[in-house]
Each structure stands twice: as structure tokens, then as C-alpha cells.
Amino acid sequence: MSTTEKRDIRALSQQELRGFFVEKGEKPFRGDQVFEWLWHKGAHHFDDMTNLSLALRTLLEEHFSINHIAISRMQQSKDGTIKNAVTLHDDMIVESVLIPTPKRTTACVSSQVGCSLNCQFCATAKLKRMRNLNPDEIFDQVIAINQQSQKYFGRKLSNIVFMGMGEPLMNYNNVIKAIDKITAEKGLQMSPKRITLSTSGIPKMIKKMADDGVKFNLALSLHSAIQEVREKIMPFCSKFPLEDLIESLQYWFEKTGRITTLEYLIWKGINDREEDRNALVDFAKKVPCKVNIITYNSIDEDRFVQAGPVTVKAYVDILEKNRIPVTIRRSRGEDIDAACGQLANKF
Ligand code: SAH
């Protein structure tokens, strides 16, 4: 059988793997073993599956391929952050980032090649969306970063954020399938509490996630709580009025009991006025949340300039005065273009 006729074995469910072995006159538990090799141990070759006989490995080889990612380039920042260029089986490239802190290692993973949204301040948006990542391509980024964490920092990966390239809610089914494998008993066994999905805010999908009973955390890229301003910096938002977004986040809280993290960038002359701050306070009063002020990473767009410390402090003060939890996120990996919004395959 030629390679092109072979199916990617990772498109099969555990049940389908069992079915395959039964059909070949083998015991169903062989399917469980293969599943564990693929999703717990992250095997990339049938020969790695050492508890299967050579005959069974050859059988698998005849019918299936294991399409896996390859880290084609790795760069390390002065602050320890590692950026990976990840080549997919069709030679497309995405990026993923390992962010170390004294206590944690966080993987920042991509969900799409490019992005279909048009946030004016984000480098990924310039690429347009080329395709969705498959569940295994998302999973593989996590496996690779887990290995790097062990190799370079002597500890396991502790957190995952969907803040790489792409809009995860535009590739919802595959993201959910990947998270299932990441959290599964027979998979990576990571707690969903340590996973955060960041979205630019698609109300219908936020409600769907709440209905689906997902167990991970939600972050929303708000950046402005004034519809007119938000539409200027994130033009796709014209389809999603802020009222709908508020309603969906209220629904999320009712269903899941979890608050939303509001991600917020502050730029000179864009959202640095008093009315911008008041609008954020009003928004945050309606939605159970905490605010995370992010530092803007420059992407060669003259329009966007990070606001100064006085403006940032004015935001922090008014939020604190209104008892809204607020934190400031430090930028990491800027020297290698690995920071938020800088992922764009520069080389
Ligand atoms: N599409 C998703 C996830 C990817 S972006 C989302 O929009 O949430 C991850 C975070 O980086 C978002 O909060 C996004 O607004 C932010 N971001 C984008 N460009 C940035 C930049 N140049 N500097 C800092 N943060 C940026």
C-alpha cells in the first residue's frame, strides 16, 4: 500500500482502534495499547510501540501513518522563553511558545495556521487564515513543549494557554478534541483547571462552550468596552455587539461558576481616555471577571503605541477602587518575537 492510501491513525477514536484489531482477528485491548502509545506517550513511530509484536507493528504500518509535527526551528530568549516553529505534515508552519516562570511552565499553543480575524494590532492577523489545525497537531505542540520543559527546566509542563496563532473558537471541535486528549486519563492527564482558552469573543460559541460543560478557563480579548472603539481595532466585532458578548459571559458564569479573565491592551490615543476606563469598569461590573492588563508588543504598526505608566496606573486605580481584581502581565520573549501578537513566522 502506498503512503498516500494510508489513514492517519490519530484520526481514529479508541473505539475505532479496538474495532480495527477485532476485524483483523486480534484482541480488542490491542487498540487500548495503541491509543495509549499515541496519546499518553506521544509515539511518532509504530516501532516505538514495544509491547506490540513485530507482526502487529507491521500490520499497523501497512494500514496507517502517524502524521506528526516537527519542530523545525527553536529559539530561546534571554528570559528563557522558547519559541518553536512547528512544521506540519503539509509543510505549513505554526508557532508555539514555552514560557517559564520560577514556579510554572506554560505552553502557548496555536489553533489555526494564520487567523481569519483582523485585529489590527496582531501580527498573526496579517497572515490570513490558511487552515484549521487538527486535534493531533494541537496535541503535539503540547507534547513537544512538555518534553522541552523536562529537558531545559527539569519539570513537567504545568499550564496551557490557547493564545498562539488563530482563534480557537473558530476551530472549536478540533480544540475540544485536543483538550480531551490532553486531559484524558489515558492521555496527558493534565487538569483542565490549568488550561485557558483565549478568544476574541464570539458570543454564540461562548454559550455553546458553557452548554457543553467544558472545565477549562476562559479569557476574553476585550481591549475596549466601547463598541465603536473596539470595531476600529478589531473590525470583525461589528458582527458582535458588546451587549451580546456581556450576555454570553454572564451565561458562561451561570453555567460554569467560573469567572472570565478580561485581557486588555492600552494604547496612546486609542483607549487611554477617562471614558475608556469608565466603560471598562461598567463592563466588568456586569460580568464576573478579573482584568489582566497586557503590555503591547510592537508589530510595526505606527498607529499602535503602548500607553505610558501613568495611564496604566489610572486604569489600575479605578478598577481597584471599584473592587475589580486587576493584574498586569509582563511581556515575555520579545527579543525573539515570541510575545503575544508577534507570532507570524518572521524568518
Ligand atoms: N484569537 C485569540 C487568541 C490569540 S491572541 C484571542 O484573540 O484571544 C492572544 C492574546 O494576545 C489576545 O489577548 C490578543 O488580543 C493579544 N495580542 C494580540 N496582538 C498583540 C500584541 N501585538 N501585543 C500584545 N498582545 C497582543
First and final CA of the chain: distance in angstroms? 37
Are residues 9 and 150 both part of a single domain? no
Percent of the chain past pLDDT 70, that is, above it, reads 97
Task: Give domain status of residue 345, yes or no.
Answer: no
Are residues 131 and 13 both part of a single domain? no
Task: Give domain status of residue 347, yes or no.
Answer: no
Are residues 56 and 199 both part of a single domain? no
State the chain's mean pLDDT as an integer.
Answer: 93
122 CA distance to ligand 1 centroid (A)? 6
Are residues 187 and 291 both part of a single domain? yes
Q: What is the per-residue pLDDT for 186?
A: 78
pLDDT band at 268 (very low <50, low <70, confident <90, very high): very high
User: Bridge-partner residues for 100, per DSSP?
Assistant: 105
Q: What is the per-residue pLDDT for 343?
A: 72
CB 346 within 8 A of CB 124: no
Q: Which of 48, 65, 82 lies at the terminal end of a domain, its last residue?
A: 65
262 CA distance to ligand 1 centroid (A)? 12
Q: Closest Cα to atom 14, ligand 1: which residue?
A: 221
CB 100 within 8 A of CB 153: yes
Are residues 185 and 287 both part of a single domain? yes
Q: Which of 15, 30, 65 lies at the terminal end of a domain, its last residue?
A: 65
Q: Which of 113, 115, 117, 198 is the pocket-test mutation for ligand 1 (most atoms within 8 Å of CB)?
A: 198
Q: Which of 108, 118, 122, 234 is the pocket-test mutation for ligand 1 (most atoms within 8 Å of CB)?
A: 122
Task: Give domain status of residue 120, yes or no.
Answer: yes
Among candidate residues 29, 6, 5, the one with its CA nearest the CA of residue 18: 29
Are residues 145 and 264 both part of a single domain? yes
- Identify the CATH number of the domain in which residue 85 sits: 3.20.20.70
Identify the active-site residue in 16, 95, 115, 119: 95
Name the one residue in this structure whose C-alpha cell is 487500548. 32
Task: Give domain status of residue 342, yes or no.
Answer: no
Which pTM value belongs to this model?
A: 0.91
Are residues 145 and 30 both part of a single domain? no
Task: Give domain status of residue 235, yes or no.
Answer: yes
Task: Give domain status of residue 96, yes or no.
Answer: yes
Q: Is 340 marked active-site? A: yes
- Identify the CATH number of the domain in which residue 12 sits: 1.10.150.530
Q: Which of 39, 65, 91 lies at the terminal end of a domain, its last residue?
A: 65
1: pLDDT strictly greater than 50:
no
pLDDT band at 345 (very low <50, low <70, confident <90, very high): low
Q: Closest Cα to atom 12, ligand 1: which residue?
A: 221
CB 12 within 8 A of CB 68: no
Are residues 278 and 157 both part of a single domain? yes
262 conformational bin, left if phi > 0, alpha if psi -120 to 50, beta if neither: beta
Q: How far apart are CA 314 and CA 293, in angstroms?
A: 12
263 CA distance to ligand 1 centroid (A)? 8
Q: Which of 117, 121, 230, 293 is the pocket-test mutation for ligand 1 (most atoms within 8 Å of CB)?
A: 121
Are residues 171 and 231 both part of a single domain? yes
Task: Give domain status of residue 283, yes or no.
Answer: yes
Q: How many domains does the chain have?
A: 2
Q: Closest Cα to atom 1, ligand 1: which residue?
A: 167
Are residues 44 and 86 both part of a single domain? no
CB 234 within 8 A of CB 227: no
Q: How far apart are CA 184 and CA 182, in angstroms?
A: 6
Q: Which residues line ligand 1 (CB under 6 A)?
A: 119, 121-122, 163, 167, 198-200, 221, 263, 265, 294, 296-297, 299, 340-341
Are residues 21 and 106 both part of a single domain? no
Are residues 28 and 128 both part of a single domain? no
216 CA distance to ligand 1 centroid (A)? 19
Q: Which residues span the domain enclosing 161?
A: 70-336
Give the position, in ligand 1's atom list, of the atom nearest the Cα of 221.
13
Q: Is 331 exposed, middle or buried (0-12, 13-18, 19+ CB in 10 A)?
A: middle
Q: Closest Cα to atom 18, ligand 1: which residue?
A: 341
Residue 181 main-chain phi, psi, to 5 deg? -70, -35
340: pLDDT strictly greater than 80:
no
Task: Give domain status of residue 261, yes or no.
Answer: yes
The model's pLDDT over 293-325, given as tens digits with 9 standing for 90+, comes to 999 988 877 899 999 999 999 999 999 999 999
